[in-house]
Structure 1
Amino acid sequence: MAGVVQDVLARRAADDGALLPILHELQDRIGHVPAQAVQDIAQALNLSRAEVHGVVTYYHHFRDRPAGRHVVQICRAEACQSMGADALMAHAELRLGCPSHGTTADGEVTLEPVFCLGLCASSPALTVDGEVHARVTPRRFDALMAELRSGQ
């Protein structure tokens, strides 16, 4: 993991506005932004550790620990909220047994909020491992999770 961090920093640290591209690449390559990388990033960009940590924790997209084997993201933007996304999130938390930003006890599914999937006319929407699903009801959510857990 340290090698990946050093590789990313070596290639991107001199770029203008490098912080977000570095964080995105680390998340893409490692699956999260490791806490131990924050100091290395800060040093490479001449920022404080608090500044880097603040960006990592401000954006919901970045994780500070590995996600589960599958990632479910439920849209929390206004259009989806108006069509039942809050109830869908509550249902998902209950069914999965983990809170938003959490991972199931078996490490299989991480549940995350996301702010706008661009499917406002087809809300509420969610993604399962990047695959978009629209007009998702609690019943459809349960079916998607059954498919996911059965390996289909």
Structure 2
Amino acid sequence: MLAQLLCQYQDTPGGLLPLLQAIQEDLGYIPGEAVPAIARVMNCSAAEVHGVISFYHDLRTAPGGRHTLQVCRAESCQATGGRELEACARDLLGVDFGNTTADGVITLESVYCLGNCACSPSVRLDNDTYARVDREGLAGLIASLRQGAEDTA
């Protein structure tokens, strides 16, 4: 699939970022071994490719968990209990931001606005946003993910 994506984007002006996003969408991350081929096809250096990957925090170079939990760290959420929610997420998952649980189920990420300020604090789990989340609500979301992972194992 990588070869197909490289062919699809090679003649696209400004196509590096869309190519990287497409690779991540397909593979879940951008493998380091793909960087030289990406650079060659996009007519840029490997350093430029690495620069784009490292600049955009949504791009990752290692596989993430099956689910992504993003905790909003913007001012509105901070003012309504966000810091406690951040600590709770780290405690419940046993990982810090940017890391994946040992079982590979959940990747914890920070985000600096979910556009849900009127209902702070908020989290996004995969593509669903949850409002006015407290410790118990977050614990329930995490428990349901872990239960779902056990059911499919």
Pairwise same-fold verdict (TM > 0.5): yes
Q: Does 1:72 align with 2:69?
A: yes
CA separation in 1, counterparts of 2:133 and 2:36? 41
1:43 to partner: Cα distance: 1.3
Any runs of at least 4 consecutive aligned residues in structure 1 with deviations exceeding 4 A, and if so which?
none
1:5 aligned residue: 2
1:141 to partner: Cα distance: 0.5
1:13-32 paired onto structure 2 within 5 Å: 13-32=10-29
Q: CA RMSD for the aligned pairs?
A: 1.5
**How many pairs were matched up?**
149
CA separation in 2, counterparts of 1:43 and 1:73? 34
1:56 aligned residue: 53
Instruction: Tell me if the contact between 1:80 and 1:125 (Cα under 8 Å) persists in the aligned partners.
Output: yes
1:101-116 paired onto structure 2 within 5 Å: 101-116=98-113
Aligned with residue 148 of structure 1, among 135, 145, 148: 145
CA separation in 2, counterparts of 1:60 and 1:84? 24
Listed one character per residue, the Cα deviations across residues 51-83 of structure 1 (whole Å, up to 9, x for unaligned) are: 111111121111111111221111223322332
| CA 1:147–1:15: 2 relative to 1, 3 Å | same
CA separation in 1, counterparts of 2:56 and 2:120? 23
Q: Does 1:37 align with 2:31?
A: no
Residue type of the alignment partner of 1:60: H
CA separation in 2, counterparts of 1:8 and 1:73? 28
Instruction: Tell me if the contact between 1:122 and 1:135 (Cα under 8 Å) persists in the aligned partners.
Output: yes
CA separation in 2, counterparts of 1:86 and 1:62? 25
1:15 to partner: Cα distance: 0.8
Instruction: Tell me if the contact between 1:61 and 1:114 (Cα under 8 Å) persists in the aligned partners.
Output: no
Is there any run of 5+ residues in structure 1 with no aligned partner, and where?
A: none
TM-score (norm 2): 0.89
Listed one character per residue, the Cα deviations across residues 24-65 of structure 1 (whole Å, up to 9, x for unaligned) are: 111111111111112211111121111111111121111111
CA separation in 1, counterparts of 2:117 and 2:103? 32
Overall identity of the aligned pairs, in %: 44
CA separation in 2, counterparts of 1:117 and 1:12? 30
- Secondary structure of residue in 1 paired with 2:132: coil
2:96 aligned residue: 99
Is there any run of 5+ residues in structure 2 with no aligned partner, and where?
A: none
Single out whichever of 115-124 and 92-101 deviates more from structure 2: 115-124
CA separation in 1, counterparts of 2:38 and 2:45? 9
